Structure 1
Amino acid sequence: MQRRLLRARDGDRGAASIFVLAVGLVLVAGGLGGAAVGAARNGRHEARTAADLGALAGALRAIEGQEAACLRAAELVAANGARLTACRLEGLDVVVQTETVVTPMPHLTTYASAAARAGPIRG
């Protein structure tokens, strides 16, 4: 009877190690996924902030024309770490589109974009 119990235990050796390894891998994968989502959200916020500030800066120069407004918007967008992808003047409103580089995981690069409009207050 004692021999049968020992043989049954021998068959289970190492199962707990594999289980702990599997749980650890699931936790690491979850952490990587969470970090990727966080990086994407951060990139989106950076693009949105750069677009807002660029549009406001361009609106200050809107009376001088599209070239002056978009040049000033581009300066502020670049100062905020983004790239100006489009800028146009619609009346006295400046519409700005920006893009930032997002690297949520090593060797994985994507882009976050945003747009903003700024102009005079209309009553």
Structure 2
Amino acid sequence: MTRLIGPDDRGAATVLAAVLTICIVVVLWLVVMLGAAASARHRAENAADLAALAAALRAPGGDAAACDRAQRIARGMGAVVSTCEWAGWEVRVEVTAELPDLFPGHAPVRARARAGPVGA
């Protein structure tokens, strides 16, 4: 009778299980990183939209007051207004949001939005 598992094959299943476990952990880590990046992008887009709307709402009070309100709204959502520009009655806002610390050496996420009266 022939043995299917020789003395040299002992522990092969342990090594295979360890390699598969490492592969699964790496794939899960990549999925978490992609989810965090998508979440930061959505947060920046939402902050830009709300900041632009808030600035447009405060337009009669002056450009400085409107951009200050946009900055406060963006900060409340975990982002920072990098630019707040006016063209007539239309405001254009650019917002940056930081990615989580999972991304070493990353650039911040940027989003832009504009708001103003209909037809502007």
Q: Normalised by the size of structure 2, how large is the TM-score?
A: 0.89
**Pair 1:85 & 2:85 matched:** no
Q: Distance in 2 between matches of 1:65 and 1:17?
A: 69
CA contact (8 A) 1:103 1:109 kept: no
Determine which structure has more spread, i.e. the larger CA radius of gyration: 1
Q: Where does the alignment leave 5 or more consecutive residues of structure 1 unmatched?
A: none
Cα displacement string for residues 6-52 of structure 1 (whole angstroms, at most 9, x for unaligned residues)? 9x610111111111111100000000000000000000011011100
Q: Distance in 1 between matches of 2:72 and 2:59?
A: 15
- More strand per residue: 1 or 2? 1
Q: Where does the alignment leave 5 or more consecutive residues of structure 2 unmatched?
A: none
Deviation at 1:109, TM superposition (A): 5.5
Number of residue-to-residue matches in the alignment? 119
**Pair 1:98 & 2:111 matched:** no
Q: Secondary structure at the match of 1:88?
A: strand
108, 112, 121: which is aligned to 2:118?
121
Residue pairs, 1:37-76, within 5 angstroms: 37-76=34-73
Q: Which amino acid aligns with 1:61?
A: R
6, 13, 19: which is aligned to 1:9?
6
Q: What's the Cα RMSD here?
A: 2.0
Percent identity, please: 36
Q: Distance in 2 between matches of 1:76 and 1:118?
A: 15
Q: Distance in 2 between matches of 1:89 and 1:63?
A: 12
CA contact (8 A) 1:55 1:116 kept: yes
15, 20, 33: which is aligned to 1:36?
33
